[in-house]
Amino acid sequence: MTDSAVASPVISAADRIDTLRLSQTMGVGPINFARLMTQYGSAGAALAALPGRMRKAGRRDDPVIPSVSRMTDELERLEKLGGKMLVRGDANYPLLLSHVPDAPPVLFALGDVRKLSMRSVGVVGARNASAAGIRIAESLSAEMAHAGICVVSGLARGIDSAAHAAALHPGLTVGAIAGGLDHAYPPENASLQQQIAEKGCLVTEALLGTAPQARHFPRRNRLIAGISSGCLIIEAALESGTMITADLAQSYNRELLVVPGSPLDPRSRGGNHLLKTGQATLTENIADILQVLPLELPEREPAPWQHPARHTPPLTGFSEPASVWGDIPDTGWIDPDLVQQSVRSLLSVTPVAVDDVVRRCQFSVSAVLATLAELELGGVVEFVPGGRVALLPN
For residue 350, pLDDT beyond 90:
no
CATH number for the domain including 118? 3.40.50.450
Cα 287 to Cα 143: distance, rounded to the nearest angstrom: 10
Domain match, 144 and 284 both: yes
CA angle, residues 267, 203, 136, in degrees to nearest 5: 30
Inside any domain, residue 165:
yes
CB 369 within 8 A of CB 312: no
Q: Which of 245, 273, 292 is the last residue of a domain?
A: 292
Domain match, 259 and 114 both: yes
Cβ neighbors of 316 (< 8 A, separation 6 or more) are 31, 101, 102, 251, 322
Domain match, 211 and 344 both: no
Residue 5's pLDDT is 41
Q: In terms of pLDDT, which residue wins out, 323 or 189?
A: 189
Instruction: Give residue 308's pLDDT band: very low, low, confident or very high (50, 70, 90).
Output: low
For residue 45, pLDDT beyond 80:
yes
Domain match, 229 and 186 both: yes
Domain match, 348 and 288 both: no
For residue 210, pLDDT beyond 80:
yes
Cα 242 to Cα 236: distance, rounded to the nearest angstrom: 6
Residue 394's pLDDT is 66
Instruction: Give residue 387's pLDDT band: very low, low, confident or very high (50, 70, 90).
Output: confident
For residue 318, pLDDT beyond 60:
no
Domain match, 134 and 239 both: yes
User: Which pTM value belongs to this model?
Assistant: 0.79
* CA nearest to 103, candidates 248, 307, 207: 248
Taking phi first (over 0 means left), then psi (-120 to 50 degrees means alpha), and beta for anything else, what does residue 26 get? Answer: beta
Inside any domain, residue 100:
no
Inside any domain, residue 167:
yes
Q: Return mean pLDDT, the chain.
A: 86
Inside any domain, residue 240:
yes
Q: Which of 271, 292, 313 is the last residue of a domain?
A: 292
What are the CA-CA distances from residue 363 to residues 22, 273, 325, 342, 356 (Å)? 29, 45, 14, 9, 13
Mean pLDDT over 193-219 rounds to 93
Domain match, 118 and 236 both: yes
CB 145 within 8 A of CB 167: yes
Q: How many domains does the chain have?
A: 2
Domain match, 233 and 270 both: yes
Cβ neighbors of 134 (< 8 A, separation 6 or more) are 158, 159, 162
Inside any domain, residue 247:
yes
Domain of 233, in residue numbers: 109-292
CB 362 within 8 A of CB 345: no
Q: In what order do the strands lie in the sheet with 120-125?
A: 84-87, 106-111, 201-204, 173-176, 150-153, 120-125, 230-234, 255-259, 281-282
Domain match, 149 and 261 both: yes
Inside any domain, residue 36:
no
Q: Which of 275, 292, 309 is the last residue of a domain?
A: 292
Domain match, 337 and 263 both: no
Q: In terms of pLDDT, which residue wins out, 167 or 366?
A: 167
Inside any domain, residue 54:
no
Q: What is the pLDDT of residues 161-187, one digit of tens each?
A: 999 999 999 999 999 999 999 999 999
Domain match, 234 and 153 both: yes
CATH number for the domain including 386? 1.10.10.10
Domain match, 336 and 277 both: no
Inside any domain, residue 219:
yes
